[in-house]
Each structure stands twice: as C-alpha cells, then as structure tokens.
Amino acid sequence: PNKITVQTLAEKLGKAPSEVIKFLMMKGVMAAINQEIDFDTASQVAEEYGILLEEEAEEVLEEKMFEEEPDNPEDLVERPPVVVVMGHVDHGKTSLLDAIRESNVTAKEAGGITQHIGASTVEINGKKITFLDTPGHEAFTAMRMRGAQVTDIAILVVAADDGVMPQTIEAINHAKAANVQIIVAVNKIDKPSANPDRVKQELADHGLLVEEWGGDTICVPVSAIAKTNLDTLLEMVLLVAEMAELKANPNKRARGTIIEAQLDKGRGPVATVLVQSGTLKVGDPIVAGSAYGRIRAMMDDKGRRVKKAGPSTPVEILGLSEVPAAGDSFYVAESDKQARHYAQILAERNREQSLRATPNKVSLDDLFSQ
C-alpha cells in the first residue's frame, strides 16, 4: 500500500501542515509533520477539503524510476556494434571467435592474453566491435526472457562442408525474432569437401538470399583455422553497423545488461556487464535485480583496470551485494540509498513473479526438509 508523509499531503492539498495535523488529530491519528500515513487516511483528509486524492499506482511510480530520460540528438554519438556468433554445433563458432580475438590481440599487443569475461572488444580500422561469448542461442533465450535487447548483429556460422542444419535454422529464427541483422560466415572453406554454393542455396530456401544472388544477406566465406577472410568479415560487421547508425549518449548515468555473473571466492560477486548507454564509473552506486552496491573496481576484457566504460563496452565489475542473473538490467542510481531502494523493489517484483510462476503446492518432503 502507498504511504505519504503529512508534509507531502499538505503540499498536495495546498494547506498548512499544522492544519492537516489538526485534522488527523480529530480523526484520532497522531502524526508528526514528516511522518508517513497510509493512503486511506490521507484520502479521508483530502475529502474533507473536497479534494479527490488519486492514488498513483505504485507500479507506475516504480516504472518512472527505471524510465530512461530521452536523449537530445546532439548528445548521441556513434557506438560500437554488439555482435553474437550463432550456428549449428561444430560449425566453428568457438574457433571463429578465438581466431578473431587472437589475430586481433597479436596484431596489436604481442603476447597479450584475452581474459575471459564473457564478452570482448576487438578493433579493426580504428573501430571497435564488441563480441559476446555466450553462444547465440543461450544468450538470446536468457536475455530475451528478461526482455533485454543487447545484440545488434548476429554472425551466423555455417560449415561449408555440412550446410544448413537444425540449429542453423533455429539461429535464423531467433535472430529474426529479436530483430537482429544476420551476417553469414560460411566457415571451413579450407576443406576440400567445402561447398559454399550449396550453403547459399540452402540459406535461400530458408529466406536468406545472399547479395550475389540479388538478395540483401551479406555472406563471407571464411576459415577460422586457416584464418582466411576474417578481416573482411569484420569489415562487413562495421559496414552493417554503420548503416544501422548505432548511437548512444555517453554523458549520463549508465545503464545496461548483466552478461554473466558468479561468486568469486576472494572477490565476492563478480559480474560482466555491457554498458548500453551512459558511462559507468568506479564508485557509481549500481543496482541489478536484487543486487546493489558501489562499484569497487572495473576490469576490461584484457584484464586491465579501468575507471570508466562507455556505451557498448563490456567490463567486469566488483562491489555488488549479491550475484545478479544474466540478462538482468543494471542501472546507476543517484545515491547508495536509491540503489538499495531500487534493489528492494526489484527483489519484490522477482518474488511476486516467482510466486506466480510456481504452483502453490507443498509436499510432505518440503515440510520435513527444514
């Protein structure tokens, strides 16, 4: 139930607080100026003044807390695309991602080791691309269940010697449902048994007509093992990103999505987050699901400590009170107190949702397992 302080009520009614207090007293309610009274009592007072006090639904108030303020167009700047790799098992998703990252690391900082944080950034022609590690299917189901939209582009890996398979079709459907642009990487073209034309035909049968056949699906023949055409693939990603005009406002409190999280023995709850708008900074009060806290430290995907992270940047953060769930949104609050308050609201919502989701059944086992 909603509560309101005497002071706020007086302001809403345009009366002196002392008058409201007097009124309450007459009704047998003793309340100080900054004390909270329940909505029913408040509306009785209002009625005395001939005013109908409308209860602003709590849920509406809460939604407002999490609402993102609209950006001025001049605050928007280009942001890197967020890319996920999808495709049938053994078609080379992991190999391709590794090859892209390795060749990118060795080219720039010899011996540099990419730390596994669930997402990483590569650079080509001075532009960044963010890759999520999570295989497309899992990422999409976990994230979409929570309504999170994090990816811009899906690289659909199809092995040239195997063609379109059940999980390829599933990936196409997922990407289409999520309104994500598909770029096809026909992989394993180093193999003598490779047959890229057959792959293109099968793709066409599933609604993806490649450019050279008059369609608008970009298709790049690659080999993750021989490292063929990887740069071309990345350039195509940048091209698609450019056409999509991906933008975000870096000059505000950050918000984004939890990519993965776990409890670390020494460091406590550790989460990899993707900043989607604003800039995340060390010291920010943050909330993600029922977890909250002040960011104690941030690391980038190369394991380097960073002080801030802008849009489309994945970072690992320390300082949360508990482990949030992958797919949870995170918000930077105005204060520690507000972060804690938001976390309470979100925890309550989670509880309500899980109560609704689980049938209200108690077995004997449950009763005796205390």
User: Interface with ligand GDP by CB under 6 A: which residues?
Assistant: 87, 89-95, 187-188, 190-191, 223-225
Which of Mg ion, ligand GDP, none sits in contact with 153, Cβ below 5 to 8 A by type? none
Nearest-approach distance from CB 79 to Mg ion, in angstroms: 27
Please tell me whether residue 44 binds Mg ion under the rule CB under 5 A: no
**Can you tell me the distance from the alpha carbon of 280 to that of 318, in angstroms, rounded to the nearest whole number?**
13
Task: For the chain, report the end-to-end CA distance as a whole number of angstroms.
Answer: 32
**Can you tell me the distance from the alpha carbon of 330 to that of 125, in angstroms, rounded to the nearest whole number?**
31
Beta-strand ranges (E) seen in the chain are: 3-5, 36-38, 77-78, 82-87, 119-124, 127-132, 153-159, 181-187, 218-221, 247-248, 255-264, 268-277, 280-281, 285-288, 291-299, 305-306, 308-309, 314-320, 329-332
Nearest-approach distance from CB 94 to Mg ion, in angstroms: 3
Closest to ligand GDP by CB, 225 vs 347, is 225
Which of ligand GDP, Mg ion, none sits in contact with 92, Cβ below 5 to 8 A by type? ligand GDP
Nearest-approach distance from CB 156 to ligand GDP, in angstroms: 11
Which of ligand GDP, Mg ion, none sits in contact with 188, Cβ below 5 to 8 A by type? ligand GDP
Nearest-approach distance from CB 168 to Mg ion, in angstroms: 14
What three-state secondary structure class fits 78?
strand
Nearest-approach distance from CB 259 to ligand GDP, in angstroms: 18
Closest to ligand GDP by CB, 165 vs 347, is 165
- Contact present, 339 and 255 (Cβ < 8 Å): no
Which of ligand GDP, Mg ion, none sits in contact with 200, Cβ below 5 to 8 A by type? none
In the range 54-113, which residues lie near Mg ion by CB under 5 A?
93-94
- Contact present, 39 and 1 (Cβ < 8 Å): yes
**What is the full DSSP assignment across 28-61?**
T----TT-EEEHHHHHHHHHHTT--PPPPPHHHH
DSSP state of 304: -
Amino acid type, 256: G
What three-state secondary structure class fits 135?
coil
Nearest-approach distance from CB 196 to ligand GDP, in angstroms: 12
What three-state secondary structure class fits 42?
helix
Closest to ligand GDP by CB, 190 vs 322, is 190
Q: Angle formed by the axes of helices 166-177 and 136-145, to 10°?
A: 40
Which of ligand GDP, Mg ion, none sits in contact with 55, Cβ below 5 to 8 A by type? none
**Can you tell me the distance from the alpha carbon of 134 to that of 88, in angstroms, rounded to the nearest whole number?**
14
Closest to Mg ion by CB, 154 vs 339, is 154
Nearest-approach distance from CB 75 to ligand GDP, in angstroms: 39
Which of Mg ion, ligand GDP, none sits in contact with 190, Cβ below 5 to 8 A by type? ligand GDP
Nearest-approach distance from CB 159 to Mg ion, in angstroms: 12
The structure tokens listed for 157 are 């890996």
Which of ligand GDP, Mg ion, none sits in contact with 80, Cβ below 5 to 8 A by type? none
Which of Mg ion, ligand GDP, none sits in contact with 91, Cβ below 5 to 8 A by type? ligand GDP
**Can you tell me the distance from the alpha carbon of 200 to that of 38, in angstroms, rounded to the nearest whole number?**
66
Footprint on this chain of Mg ion (rule: CB under 5 A): 93-94
